[in-house]
Amino acid sequence: GENVEQHPSTLSVQEGDSAVIKCTYSDSASNYFPWYKQELGKGPQLIIDIRSNVGEKKDQRIAVTLNKTAKHFSLHITETQPEDSAVYFCAASNYPGSYIPTFGRGTSLIVHP
Amino acid sequence: SQTIHQWPATLVQPVGSPLSLECTVEGTSNPNLYWYRQAAGRGLQLLFYSVGIGQISSEVPQNLSASRPQDRQFILSSKKLLLSDSGFYLCAWRPNRLAREQFFGPGTRLTVL
């Protein structure tokens, strides 16, 4: 089955700095890679996703890159703000073959004002 | 628009008592539904998923069970709770088997004493 590794487990940055979270996956059949943001006491919220036919996708201050050859993808947050503080999860799934995404273990991002 | 509800938001139960958590989705039909548990440490553990009424797949053998009595209703149950059942329970849905995106509900915080 698929295995997703996520690093780092904790990331502490100063407001205004950039933050990068990296994930690797094992199943070359995976072709859909979403990222979720989970604030304290709430359910994860889908913030951005990327498909395997795209190398990069941006949405304002967040971007995701995908390297299919190396089987890794990353979340980039620029100009971080205190409200970006949360736990971020990456995931990988085989669309439309599998109903079940495989999640990374999460990264706790702390943005210091 | 589609929304997902979980009830109750928080629950404190004694060891050995029964459990019933409810998840309902509005604004869609025949969604794929999922139950996850998130223990302290952030990881998302898939417990059950359902692709239709009465169709339940179990990912982790334990003292929990799930049922889908209606198209947009997913219930997580236990006859006798254990201390280890404490955690944050998340319901998630996918619009249908052709959809890539998976969306999470607000979660239920369960504490077993």
For residue B105, give the chain A residue with the closest CA. A43
For residue B95, give the chain A residue with the closest CA. A99
For residue A46, give the chain B residue with the closest CA. B103
pLDDT band per the 50, 70, 90 thresholds, residue B99 = confident
**Which residues touch A60 (CB under 8 Å, ≥6 apart)?**
none
Contact B104 A34 (CB under 8 A): no
Contact B102 A34 (CB under 8 A): yes
User: What tokens were used for B42?
Assistant: 């952030």
**Chain A, chain B: beta-carbon pairs less than 8 Å apart:** 50
Contact B102 A101 (CB under 8 A): yes
Report, as an integer, the average pLDDT of A16-34.
96
**Which residues touch A27 (CB under 8 Å, ≥6 apart)?**
A1, A2, A3, A92, A94
Q: What's chain A's average pLDDT?
A: 94
pLDDT of residue B92: 96
Contact B104 A36 (CB under 8 A): yes
Interval B39-96: pLDDT, tens: 877 689 999 999 999 999 988 868 999 999 999 999 999 999 999 999 999 999 998 7
Report, as an integer, the average pLDDT of B27-45.
88
Going by C-alpha positions, the residue among B35, B38, B39 that lies closest to residue B25 is B35
pLDDT of residue B109: 96
Question: Please, are residues B35 and B48 in contact by the beta-carbon 8 Å criterion?
Answer: yes
Measured CA to CA, the distance from residue A102 to residue A3 in angstroms comes to 7
pLDDT of residue B42: 66
Contact B103 A46 (CB under 8 A): yes
Measured CA to CA, the distance from residue B40 to residue A12 in angstroms comes to 20
